Amino acid sequence: MRYCNYLSFLVKKEKAKDQAMSSTNRMSDSANLDESTDQEDRSFIGHTPSQIDALANRLAPHYTDFRIADRILLTGHSHQAWPNVARQGVLEGYHAAAERVDKKWGLAFEKIEHLRNYLRSWYNDTNGYYCPGPNTHSLVCSWLSSLNLKKGAQIVTTADEFHSISRQLKRLQEEGIEVVSVPADSLDTLADRLISALSPKTSAVLTSHVFFKTSHIFKEIGALAEVASQRGIPMLIDDYHGTNIVPFSLAPAPLAECFLVTGGYKYLQWGEGNCFLRFPKSCRLRPLMTGWFASYSSLANPPEKIIYDEGDWRFASATFDPTSAFRGSHVANFFTEQHLTPSTLRQQSLGQIGFLRNAFLNLDFPKETIDLAHPLPPEQNGGFLSLRSPHAGRLEEILFEKGVFTDSRGDILRLGPAPYIGTGQLKQAIEILGEALASTAKNL
């Protein structure tokens, strides 16, 4: 199956290459990225080392505010550097308030709509509304409040969800809601196991598209969505670790009926405060937890009964700081101007993860000291390399002292590149990791 997928990938790459070579409007550097060189190993999944460097070198001058040349920021899965234009967005937000005062909201809503359109394009989505929120937790809570969660109701999820979901579900469990947590360690059977956990009392199913600890991609998520749809069970997808790094279409019918949360803190480079709950246009749920932005159009003459505006604001809260939307809009424009398409972003990430993975394996440390968190190939991996070590926390500290920014979750060390990171920094980071491992071993 993997071999067939790989052949399909190569065919698509060749088609993309032919299109790039025949296009006269594409930037010359971007065209060079799509050309293959006979000297390089074409078994390399994603961009080759020279292609990685070509894109990284083109982008790097736009990220000087974050000093990406002076330190190695492998926090692409957590907090990517923002391009310098993000500062212009912050200033625009400030000046909009200074000039327009309370009339700034019209312009702020335009910025939010720009971000929505970016997400609609990413997800190939013509059937969804996108409700903004300051973080995914507030949006998940609003969504949960729209469900029939009486005592004894059941929620099915995985045991590897991020805290925005897992913590809230544990609290609901304390109030008598049954929460079935299915381990996500074996992806080949995950969809079947989640489906098996569904029952007549299941009120919702929640799962990640890309898991935040391991970077696993849940490729069979569509099969789960299809069964959930057939049984009338609302399904929410956490795609924070997939957006702008792992292309994902919501066009297929079962997925088009799903709810999805994502945000700008990671791969989108929009920064904090730019989160969205995507919901199908057919949705008529009446969330319990909403604010007055959920019925903005009726503020002048509010009806006695709570109503919800048609469109994107059904799950909204109340007043928020719109500066983040100005910042995010400038960054979204930058990505478009730089031709950072879903294909380009994915190929750059695949190449970088593959490069890191190979360099790490060449260190050849004992597996009990450090090992890959999973043996799956890069094409089944999201936007970071996940390493398992009992010393993960200490390794993160040592790497930080050496100018390499990473993070850890329990016994998992996460290395997350970003499009502006070249192979020189990737190689240097692994060399420093090798030194840190040797140092740690001596002190045991």
In a domain, 78, yes or no: no
Helix, strand or coil, per DSSP, at residue 265: coil
Q: Is the pLDDT of residue 310 over 60?
A: yes
Residue 434 has pLDDT above 60, yes or no: yes
Count CB-CB contacts under 10 A for residue 22.
Answer: 9
| Domain final residue pick, 275, 309, 333 | 333
pLDDT for residue 349: 97
Structural domain contains residue 79:
no
Question: How confident is the model over 270-286, as a mean pLDDT?
Answer: 97
Domain boundary among 296, 312, 333: 333
Residue 188 lies in a domain: yes
Q: What is the structure's pLDDT at 444?
A: 54
User: What DSSP letter does each residue of 54-107 carry, written as one string?
Assistant: HHHHHHGGGGGGGTTTTSEE-BTTT-PPPPTHHHHHHHHHHHHHHHHGGGHHHH
- Which residues, including other chains, have CB under 8 Å from residue 324's CB and lie 6 or more apart? 264, 270, 271, 272, 273, 274
Q: How many domains does the chain contain in total?
A: 2
Give the model's pLDDT for residue 106: 95
Rg (the chain; Cα; Å): 22
pLDDT band at 1 (very low <50, low <70, confident <90, very high): very low
* Domain-terminating residue out of 307, 333, 359: 333
Mean pLDDT taken over the chain? 89
For β-strands 72-73 and 404-405, DSSP reports them as parallel
> For the segment 166-186, what is each residue's pLDDT rounded down to a tens digit?
999 999 999 999 999 999 988
Are residues 20 and 122 both part of a single domain? Answer: no
Structural domain includes residue 105: yes
Does 215 fall in a domain? yes
Tell me: pLDDT of 153 over 70: yes
Provide the percentage of residues in the chain whose pLDDT is more than 90. 83
Determine the average pLDDT of the residues in 121-135: 97
301's CB contacts (< 8 A; 6+ apart) are none
- What number is the average pLDDT over the span 154-170? 96
Q: Are residues 28 and 174 in the same domain?
A: no
pLDDT digits (tens, 9 = 90+) for 71-101: 999 999 999 999 999 999 999 999 999 999 9
Q: Span 207-219, mean pLDDT?
A: 95
Q: Which domain holds residue 210?
A: 87-333
Minimal CA–CA distance to 158: which of 183, 135, 124?
Answer: 183
Q: Is the pLDDT of residue 33 over 50?
A: no
**Strand, coil or helix: 205:** strand
